[in-house]
Amino acid sequence: MDGDEIAVNECKPIIRAFLLSWKSPLDKDPNFVTALGRGLDILRCFTPEKQELGTTEIARMTGMAQSTVWRLCYTLSKYGCLTPGRSPDRLRVGAGVLLLGHAAVLHDGIAQAALPLLKQLADEFDASVSLAERHGTHMIIVQRSEAPNIVKVDLHIGSSLSIGQSSLGLAYLSAIDTETRAPLMKLLKAENPEYWDEIQKDITSAQSEYSRAGYVFNLGRSHKDINAVGVPVISPDGTHVMAITCGGVRSSMTRDKLAGKVAPALKVVASTIALMLGSPSAASAQRR
What are the tens digits of pLDDT across the range 190-238?
A: 988 988 999 999 999 999 999 999 999 988 676 667 789 999 999 888 8
Q: Please check whether residues 117 and 254 belong to one and the same domain.
A: yes
CATH number at residue 197: 3.30.450.40
**Domain range enclosing 199:** 102-287
CATH number at residue 31: 1.10.10.10
Does residue 114 sit within a domain?
A: yes
Task: Report in angstroms the alpha-carbon separations of 168 from 2, 61, 160, 216.
Answer: 10, 26, 10, 9
| pLDDT greater than 90 at residue 173 | yes
Percent of the chain scoring above 70 in pLDDT: 80
- Looking at residue 27, its pLDDT comes to 56
Does residue 3 sit within a domain?
A: no
Model confidence pLDDT, tens digit, residues 123-171: 999 999 999 999 888 898 989 998 887 766 667 888 888 898 899 999 9
Q: Please check whether residues 107 and 178 belong to one and the same domain.
A: yes
Range name among 61-65, 73-77, 107-111, 176-180 with the lowest pLDDT average? 107-111
| pLDDT greater than 60 at residue 3 | no
Q: Please check whether residues 119 and 248 belong to one and the same domain.
A: yes
Residue-by-residue DSSP string for the chain? --TTTTTTTSS--THHHHHHHHTTGGGG-TT--HHHHHHHHHHTT--SS--EE-HHHHHHHH---HHHHHHHHHHHHHTTSEEE-SSTT-EEE-HHHHHHHHHHHHGGGHHHHHHHHHHHHHHHHTSEEEEEEEETTEEEEEEEEE-TTSPP-S--TT-EEEGGGSHHHHHHHHHS-HHHHHHHHHHHHHH-TTTHHHHHHHHHHHHHHHHHHS-EEEESSS-TTEEEEEEEEE-TTSS-EEEEEEEEETTTS-HHHIIIIIHHHHHHHHHHHHHHTT-HHHHHHHH-
Model confidence pLDDT, tens digit, residues 227-241: 899 999 998 888 889
Q: Please check whether residues 236 and 217 belong to one and the same domain.
A: yes
Give the number of domains in the chain. Answer: 2
| pLDDT greater than 50 at residue 287 | no
Model confidence pLDDT, tens digit, residues 95-133: 777 667 656 655 557 888 899 999 999 999 999 999 999
Domain end residue (candidates: 74, 97, 120)? 97
Does residue 4 sit within a domain?
A: no
- Looking at residue 286, its pLDDT comes to 37
Q: Please check whether residues 198 and 252 belong to one and the same domain.
A: yes
| pLDDT greater than 50 at residue 280 | no
Model confidence pLDDT, tens digit, residues 12-35: 444 444 444 444 445 567 788 888
